[in-house]
A and B are shown apart, each in its own frame.
Chain A
Amino acid sequence: MTGKLGLDPALVARARELARRAGQPVVDLARSHTTVSVERAVLRLAGVTGADPDGIPWVNRLVDAVVADVGLGHGVAVPVFDALAREGVADVTLLAQKAAAGSVRFTQPSGKAATAARRASRKAVAVGVRQVDRRRAERDRLVRRYGDPEQRPWIYLIVATGDIYEDIPQAQAAARAGADIIAVIRSTGQSLLDYVPEGATREGFAGTYATQENFRLMRAALDESSRELGRYVRLTNYASGLCMPEMATLAGLERLDMMLNDSMYGILFRDINPIRTFVDQRFSRQVHARAGIIINTGEDNYLTTADAVDEAHTVTVSQLLNEYFAHEAGLRDWQLGLGHAFEINPDLPESFRLELAHALLARELFPDAPLKWMPPTKHMTGDVFRGNLLDGFFNLVGTMTGQGILLVGMMTEAVVTPWLSDRDIALQNVRYVLGAAGGLHEDFVPAPGGFIQQRAHRVLSEAVDLLERIGEQSLLTAIAEGTFGIMKRPADRGKGLDGVARHEADYYNPATEILEAAA
């Protein structure tokens, strides 16, 4: 379905080259730094599990203990496995408990001891990575057995009660009603917790805590639904916030299928330090690549703060950057759920044609990516009737432009958390549009030189201009100056900066070594 917009291939290639040039310094930064969360993810792969009586995970206690003795810049794998050998402790979780009690001292060994510790840590982490591999093979098997959804776009629905045991029947009901993908929204504020809570949880604020046990419970419930419905129902959560690498790791270990994982969302919308975010993001994407997880990027969010017409090109720029970072980390095109949204003010003349132009531009720039199409939120009011109409037009753009993943819009957006009946009406809306116009993309060819083509060309050329300006300074400067979503985020500010360290000469991370060897 390429070629409907008559995009200039040279300009598209130029856009990609500029995105690479803007992103390269950030990748260099990510390759030369580590964070507490990356190191905790390594320990999770190495088999550290559980939490202390206060609910603080042993990985946090262990990383804190290592950092107190030798700092973060060597990576924790070598000091931990060196101590394990010295102390004669059999199990890393046991070592964490001893370290938390203050009965273990960590050092950064050299020579033979260092070599032995490297080897031992790599062996332990390889066990975790093998588990991720097994989970991926298991998904492939289940998809073969139960099959993918019959239609594109896949239908994506959200549940969020705060209680995992309430979420489960709701998610199963949503799957029965037609959802192909279930996303469990996280509790407000989890992104700013510098640890992953433990166990099954029953109280969250406007969402349910993401924990390994909640992941496992929900995946098992949806496996049941897949069997019942004869199609594989996918599960989504969030690899974002201060624990992004650990979330990615837990998702890989528990066979989640999609993760929200944007390159800049945490920086712009949660005021997380830019360097922390880019380092965490690269590691988490390497894990997603290995685990066969589809990432969902968050460009739709820019349009909730900035104007969807004036700033349309920032979405394109961010998609190009997300694509570059994703490819660099080993993700394949089929894993790139690049985001965009139907957020143009409906009172604007020709708003629907503008939406078509933007959506088609994304489709043609990224022909092999399962784009994630996000419903209107900014212009939804308490007028639920108008909201339902707007959602219908959103669905129509989705099918006319061949979007891969469609987040179902609710007419009660901004009114209440969706009721059972809201969800039913919303799904009826989707089914009607896909049923009535599912093949319309075959006939829909914008007139050469017409409104839609012109608009798409203009957005692309504005994106190229912006990428050129970013290239003249750097991406970090652009973020500091408020280029995306209007937020100004300097690289030396924001949450989580104290959990970042530059690599020492002897930095070692067995997980990165294994993940990069495969890529």
Chain B
Amino acid sequence: MTAVEKKIVRPYGDTTGDGMVQVSFTLPVAHDKRAEGAAVQLANRMGIDPAMLVHAKQMGDGFTFFVVYGRVNHLVDLSQVQVVERDFPLLSAKEVNAVVKQKLRRKLSVVGACIGTDAHTVGIDAILNVKGIAGEKGLEYYRELKVVNLGAQVSVPELVEAARREKADAVLVSQVVTQRDAHLHNTREMSAAFREAMPAGKRPLLIVGGPRFDETMTDELGVDRIFGRGTTPGEVASYLVHALITNKKARA
């Protein structure tokens, strides 16, 4: 392992090393001298010194919007920057479709559901419906994916049966309700049922998602992947391609 060379950087305005940044924010106070002072003080605490307050505008009754320019005194050592790498590449919808078409040479079949008593289809709909979430289209939008969304309150046997019928490559389950750890019980019940119903090689990829899951619990819950809050359809699609096609051999 080679030591990364220490390299210090600071923000660049128009001269190397000037450290200039620009920030904007709102404070919940009416616009007056004291408000401007508060904005400068906040900027100072952010490490901006001197801070130039270049714009202040009152919005409504008790809010003021500020724009501040100034020199920030923080430094960054590039060799100390730690990043967590995603273990699969993020692909665009076009790339996902291309890989499936070329390498799988058939549509990739996905079955999704909310299982147990959970009626919150928000998660599964955000991932599967064309409408998607945050401007990103759901998996239905991908031409090379065949998506069946079973909706809410699907029983585990129904889900297994649907997966068999649709020859599912992957099963996506969404769990929002966490009362008495319902999401964990339901997930274990689901993964056990698939293990019982299908031999290891024929079993679809099992994926669960929901805002309260711990993404490291895959082994404990018997699933292949867990997705937490803020997951986008593109991430799920990219993972499907990675796990089922491009990195298939790695999967036990």
Contact = CB atoms under 8 A, between A and B. Distances in A.
Interface of A: 173, 176-177, 187-189, 192, 205, 268-271, 304-305, 377-378, 380, 413-414, 419-421, 424-425, 485-487, 495
B24 interface: yes
A378 B149 CA distance: 25
Contacts of A414: 134-135
B59 A305 contact: no
A502 to B, nearest CB: 24
Contact of A420 (B63, B125, B126, B135): B63
B212 interface: no
A192 B233 CA distance: 19
B140 A271 contact: yes
Given A192-B121, A205-B122, A420-B59, A378 B135 contact: yes
B151 interface: yes
26 contacts: A177-B59, A187-B122, A189-B120, A189-B121, A192-B125, A205-B122, A269-B130, A270-B129, A271-B130, A271-B140, A271-B149, A304-B135, A305-B130, A305-B141, A377-B135, A413-B135, A414-B135, A420-B59, A421-B24, A421-B26, A421-B59, A421-B65, A424-B65, A485-B130, A487-B130, A495-B151
A188 B122 contact: yes
A188 B126 contact: yes
A424 B63 CA distance: 11
Interface string B27-64: 00000000000000000000000000000010110010
A420 B134 CA distance: 19
Interface string B59-94: 110010100000000000000000000000000000
A419 B135 contact: no
B137 interface: yes
B125 A188 contact: yes
Given A378-B135, A380-B135, 12 more contacts: A188-B126, A189-B121, A192-B125, A269-B131, A270-B129, A271-B149, A305-B137, A413-B135, A414-B135, A420-B60, A485-B130, A487-B140
A304 B63 CA distance: 34
B216 to A, nearest CB: 25
B113 to A, nearest CB: 13
A345 B175 CA distance: 37
Contacts of B135: 304, 377-378, 380, 413-414
Given A271-B149, A421-B65, A189 B125 contact: yes
Interface in B122-179: 122, 125-126, 129-131, 133-135, 137, 140-141, 149, 151
B136 to A, nearest CB: 9
Interface pairs A-B: 3 shortest CB-CB: A414-B135, A189-B122, A424-B59
Contacts of B125: 188-189, 192
A485 B140 CA distance: 12
Contacts of A189: 120-122, 125
A281 B24 CA distance: 45
A75 B141 CA distance: 37
A419 B130 CA distance: 27
Contacts of A187: 122
- Most chain A Cβ neighbours within 10 Å, of B57, B63, B121, B122: B122
B9 to A, nearest CB: 21
Contacts of A270: 129, 131
B94 to A, nearest CB: 13
Contacts of B121: 189, 192
A37 B83 CA distance: 51
Contacts of B151: 192, 495
A188 B120 CA distance: 10
Interface of B: 24-26, 57, 59-60, 63, 65, 120-122, 125-126, 129-131, 133-135, 137, 140-141, 149, 151
Nearest to B57: A424
A485 B137 CA distance: 12
Given A192-B151, A205-B122, A271 B26 contact: no
Contacts of B149: 271
Contacts of A419: 26
A484 to B, nearest CB: 11
A185 B23 CA distance: 30
A495 B131 CA distance: 15
Contacts of B126: 188
Contacts of A192: 121, 125, 151
A192 B121 CA distance: 9
B105 to A, nearest CB: 21
A177 B130 contact: no
Nearest to A485: B130
- Most chain A Cβ neighbours within 10 Å, of B26, B120, B131, B149: B131
Given A192-B121, A419-B26, A177 B60 contact: yes
A451 to B, nearest CB: 30
Nearest to B141: A305
Contacts of B133: 188
B199 to A, nearest CB: 31
Contacts of A421: 24-26, 59, 65
Given A188-B122, A305-B141, A419-B26, A271 B59 contact: no
Contacts of A378: 135
Contacts of B26: 419-421
A457 B123 CA distance: 43
Contacts of B63: 420
Contact of B130 (A188, A205, A268): A268
A486 B140 CA distance: 11
A476 B240 CA distance: 33
- Most chain A Cβ neighbours within 10 Å, of B65, B120, B121, B130: B130
Contacts of B141: 305, 486
Contacts of B129: 269-271
A173 B130 contact: no
Nearest to B131: A269
B35 to A, nearest CB: 14
A310 B143 CA distance: 18
A38 B141 CA distance: 30
A192 B26 CA distance: 37
A145 B218 CA distance: 63
A271 to B, nearest CB: 7
Nearest to A177: B60
A248 B192 CA distance: 45
Contacts of A176: 60
B56 to A, nearest CB: 12
Contacts of B140: 271, 487
Contacts of A173: 60
Contacts of A485: 130
Contacts of A425: 65
A516 B35 CA distance: 60
Contacts of A487: 130, 140
A420 B57 CA distance: 12
Nearest to A269: B131
